Structure 1
């Protein structure tokens, strides 16, 4: 939800933000199309108060209230907002699934990994802690098509990219 994939240069077309993006908001009613949060809205810390001036910027084109463009825990995945069906389809048709830094606590990512595993895709999991994705990767490692790289993304992603691009 942090928009890092887009800031790193990925396009919206190639990025499935299945839990939303905190750089966007959307109207509470009517059209649910995400709206970029205005540049004039400062990044605030968790405990920082929101001024009346900032609240005035956090409205839709008709002046109506908005909410962050994120999937709350009590909400359902939705193709139109989160490209959830597209994400599952991509996982179902991939040859290699690379999972980086997620716990596996949310249903859709876990379902995606299970779909890729069932299809026979190779699985690489990069994570500091053991998790369900690591289980899939270790299972694939039995036939040389899986790997759990324990550690940080900053440690393993550059090395993995270099290795994959060299092939």
Structure 2
């Protein structure tokens, strides 16, 4: 949702909690579309223009569009959250990095469980134990690091760069 992976140049991204660059019908209609460039932030005392209202109205049913973000009491699915695609990637991964997240929702935990089931190595980088810690603490194929991600990722990047020079 914060767009950091995209800004870093990554292309194969599964934004399982959605993103604020896309909108979808609040009534569950057809498609997910990009947020029109004409839509800008508003101050609390500013009203939407007629054009903005038109752009934020579903062309199929006339309901309001809303951010393409998973809200409380909603369920993960493939269309919005890439549920099955992300589980397939987890199944075929050799390593899963869990960085700066609690794991308090079911799809991230399912991704970690799937990766473990298919013998991926799990690297848990957080400042404290989280839901993921319970899942992996007794596993052999894990590394638990209790540091700030900004510091440890610099070290990991350096290690990877040195390995790529050797290989």
TM-score of Structure 1 vs Structure 2, range by shorter chain: 0.7 to 0.9
**Superposed displacement of residue 31, structure 1:** 4.4
For residues 72-96 of structure 1, the C-alpha deviation after alignment (integer angstroms, 9 at most, x for no partner) is 2211111122111011111122110
- Aligned pair in 2 of structure 1 residues 3, 44: CA closer, same or farther (>3 Å)? farther
- Equivalents in 1 of 2:19, 2:46: separation in Å? 20
| Mapping of residues 28-107 of structure 1, within 5 Å | 28-29=26-27, 31-43=29-41, 48=44, 51-53=47-49, 55-56=52-53, 57-61=55-59, 64-107=63-106
- Aligned pair in 2 of structure 1 residues 44, 155: CA closer, same or farther (>3 Å)? farther
**Which residue number corresponds to residue 156 of structure 1?**
152
- Equivalents in 1 of 2:152, 2:115: separation in Å? 21
For residues 30-56 of structure 1, the C-alpha deviation after alignment (integer angstroms, 9 at most, x for no partner) is 6442222223333468xx456323852
Consecutive unaligned residues in structure 2, runs of 5 or more = none
Question: Is contact 2:38-2:52 (8 Å) kept?
Answer: no
- How many residues align? The count is 160
**Worse overlay, 147-156 or 75-84:** 147-156
**Worse overlay, 116-125 or 28-37:** 28-37
TM-score, with structure 2 as normaliser: 0.80
